[in-house]
Every structure is written in structure tokens, then in C-alpha cells.
């Protein structure tokens, strides 16, 4: 039985629960350290070591890792530490992607799909409007824009997106990076456990650099419309850019108050999702998040695959 209810529940002889905020399964899997999925219960988790470290820093407590012979973790290319889980039951292999991107981006390698009988995938961008441009093109455009913009203010999710933006900005200019506290906090954990280094300066003490247009600002999206920030943007003739897959739709730019938007995403775009499903070549697909029903319908109609959306609290009896 497969069910979505504060995470994904896969019940056979043993109960596997992925990305639940509570500990509810015999085996609890944490795919990555974004707070919308974050494990906050008791007991051990099956996760990558980096996901554990990031979660510990965000939750401000220690977590214990667990291993399970029937669960194989595979890098899912979403953020540092993120993993998909390949779960072996008696006769089926179930692949749970967690949040996933198949694209190589900045410093991260995309997910390499593996064969499975049942695929449970996120479907955030599961409609054709979210066919992203080639990644190389997106990063070229970012480079050209950063090079010609005097005072750039960049916005993205503080864990994952913000580090990739900083990595690109560092590659494209010599200007010092000035990061908001939420981003600095995540930088610290990433720098401690990986080879990455962003050399960002804290925003609080370096507003002067921004005022004079000498630095590049990086902050979380929720900060883009704050008065304090807009003062600096005005003083430096700054330009604000948002980085998100939602940037494929015009509303994103206006709602976020951005001058410029790049569809740089940590998730699969529509085409990437279709391509991933073909490679996994499953007999059944369950979709969740975003355009779940739309994507399941598309797979049935266009790809002839048995697919359906997992709806909250609705159990799906599957053939295993």
C-alpha cells in the first residue's frame, strides 16, 4: 500500500515512511534537508550523512543515522546531500525520488535514473509550460547579466539555490559576495562538510559595500521586498533578480518584485520529468507535489504508462 500523509508511506511487511515530519514507520527515510520535508521526530533516520548534518544544524539537535539492507540511497541532484531511495520489497523495486533534478547545475551533478518497477516521483513542474531552457543556456545568461549589471541583488532559497547562485557569481566576477544571515547560516554548514567555499561576507556589517555598488547581494526570496533591502537597491541603482523554475511564468517576476528572473531550478522541468520516467521504465508511476494530476494524466495519455496522483490520505493498493 502506498499513501501520502505527512510524507510517503509504503506499507508491506515493513512500513517505510519517507519525508515525514514525525517518526511513523519501521524505517524512516529523510531524502533531504528542506524544512517542508524535514524529519523532526524521534529515532533513527535513513539519510545521507550530509542531509543528517544539515538537518542537525537546522533543527539544532543531534540525529542518528540508520542503515537498512533493502534501502539504497542514490544522489538525487536536488541539493547537497539529497537522495532518492530504491526500496526492495519481496518482488518489486520501488524508487522514491524525493525532490529531484536530472540536470548538472553549478557544482551539483544531476540524478542518474535507475530501473524500478514502481516510481514515486515529485511532479512540481509537471505541465509543458515548465519546459526549462537548456541548463548551459540558463547559466550563460546569468553570466552575461552579472557581468553587465553594476549592482546585482540575487534571490533564491537559502539552502541549495543560494549556494549555487553564489558559486556562479564567484565564477563570473571578482566582486565580493554579501549574504543575508539565513544564507550565511547554510553556507557555514555546507563549507564545514564539503570542499565548497563561498567567501561571503555578512550583510549586517557590509551594507556599505552594497550601497556603493561594490558588492553582490544574495538573500532568501522572502527578503526581496523588504524596505531595508529596497533602500539599498535604490541607493546603489541596484537590479533585483529571482532564481526559480516558477520564473517560466510572468507572474513570478511581478509577484516577487524582481527586475529579472532566471528559470534556474533545483527540480526537474517538465521535459526532464518525462525523460526520467522513460529511463526508470516503471510499470506504475505515482506522482505527488505540484501538477501531480496533470502529470499523471500526461503519462497515461502520451506515454501509455499506468500513472496516478497520490492524494493526501488516499491509500493506493498496489500489486505487491
Binding site for Zn ion (CB under 5 A): 34, 99
Alpha helices, DSSP H, located in 131-260: 135-148, 161-172, 181-193, 207-211, 227-235, 250-256
- What is the distance of C-alpha 140 from the center of its chain? 21
Q: How far is the CB of 82 from Zn ion (least distance, A)?
A: 7
Q: Which is nearer to Zn ion, 152 or 220 (CB)?
A: 220
Parallel, antiparallel, or unpaired for β 71-75 and 83-88?
Answer: antiparallel
Q: Which is nearer to Zn ion, 34 or 260 (CB)?
A: 34
CB distance 258 to 242 below 8 Å: yes
Q: How far is the CB of 32 from Zn ion (least distance, A)?
A: 6
Q: Which is nearer to Zn ion, 102 or 236 (CB)?
A: 102
Q: Which is nearer to Zn ion, 124 or 206 (CB)?
A: 124
Q: Which is nearer to Zn ion, 37 or 284 (CB)?
A: 37
CB distance 63 to 53 below 8 Å: no
Q: How far is the CB of 95 from Zn ion (least distance, A)?
A: 17
Half-sphere exposure of 137 (CA within 13 A, CB side): 4
Q: Which is nearer to Zn ion, 3 or 34 (CB)?
A: 34
Q: Which is nearer to Zn ion, 99 or 117 (CB)?
A: 99
- Any residues with CB less than 8 A from the CB of 118 and at least 6 apart, and which? 2, 92, 93, 94, 95, 282, 283, 284, 285, 286, 318, 320
Q: Which residues are bridge partners to 243 per DSSP?
A: 262
Q: How far is the CB of 157 from Zn ion (least distance, A)?
A: 8
Q: Which cell is 148 given?
A: 553587465
The Cα 12–Cα 1 span in angstroms is 7
Q: How far is the CB of 1 from Zn ion (least distance, A)?
A: 25
CB atoms within 10 A of CB 289: 18
The Cα 314–Cα 320 span in angstroms is 18
Q: Which cell is 240 given?
A: 533585483
Q: How far is the CB of 283 from Zn ion (least distance, A)?
A: 27
Q: How far is the CB of 160 from Zn ion (least distance, A)?
A: 7
Amino acid at each position: 500500500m502506498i499513501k501520502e500523509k505527512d510524507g510517503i508511506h509504503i506499507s508491506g511487511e515493513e512500513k517505510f515512511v519517507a519525508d515525514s515530519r514525525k517518526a511513523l514507520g519501521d524505517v524512516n527515510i529523510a531524502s533531504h534537508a528542506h524544512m517542508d520535508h524535514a524529519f523532526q521526530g524521534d529515532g533513527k533516520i535513513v539519510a545521507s550523512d550530509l542531509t543528517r548534518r544539515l538537518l542537525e544544524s537546522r533543527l539544532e539537535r543531534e540525529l542518528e543515522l540508520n542503515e537498512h539492507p533493502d534501502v539504497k540511497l542514490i544522489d538525487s541532484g536536488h541539493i547537497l546531500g539529497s537522495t532518492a531511495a530504491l526500496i526492495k520489497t519481496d518482488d518489486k523495486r520501488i524508487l522514491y525520488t524525493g525532490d529531484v533534478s536530472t540536470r548538472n547545475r553549478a557544482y551539483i551533478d544531476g540524478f542518474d535514473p535507475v530501473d524500478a518497477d514502481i516510481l514515486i516521483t515529485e511532479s512540481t513542474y509537471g505541465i509543458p509550460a515548465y519546459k526549462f531552457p537548456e541548463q548551459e543556456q540558463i547559466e550563460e545568461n546569468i553570466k552575461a547579466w552579472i557581468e553587465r549589471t553594476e549592482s546585482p541583488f540575487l534571490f533564491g532559497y537559502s539552502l541549495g539555490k543560494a549556494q549555487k547562485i553564489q558559486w556562479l557569481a564567484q565564477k563570473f566576477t571578482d566582486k565580493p559576495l554579501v549574504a543575508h544571515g539565513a544564507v550565511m547560516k547554510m553556507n557555514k554548514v555546507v563549507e564545514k562538510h564539503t570542499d565548497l567555499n563561498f567567501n561571503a561576507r555578512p550583510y549586517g556589517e557590509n551594507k556599505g559595500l552594497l550601497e556603493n555598488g561594490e558588492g553582490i547581494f544574495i538573500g532568501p526570496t522572502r527578503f526581496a521586498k523588504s524596505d531595508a533591502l529596497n533602500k539599498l537597491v535604490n541607493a546603489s541603482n541596484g537590479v533585483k533578480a529571482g532564481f526559480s523554475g516558477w520564473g517560466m511564468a510572468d507572474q513570478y517576476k511581478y509577484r516577487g518584485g524582481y527586475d529579472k528572473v532566471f528559470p534556474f531550478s533545483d527540480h526537474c522541468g517538465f521535459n526532464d520529468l518525462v525523460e526520467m520516467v522513460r529511463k526508470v521504465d516503471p510499470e506504475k508511476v505515482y506522482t505527488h507535489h505540484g501538477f501531480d494530476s496533470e502529470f499523471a494524466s500526461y503519462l497515461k495519455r502520451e506515454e501509455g504508462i499506468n500513472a496516478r496522483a497520490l492524494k493526501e490520505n488516499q491509500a493506493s493498493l498496489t500489486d505487491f
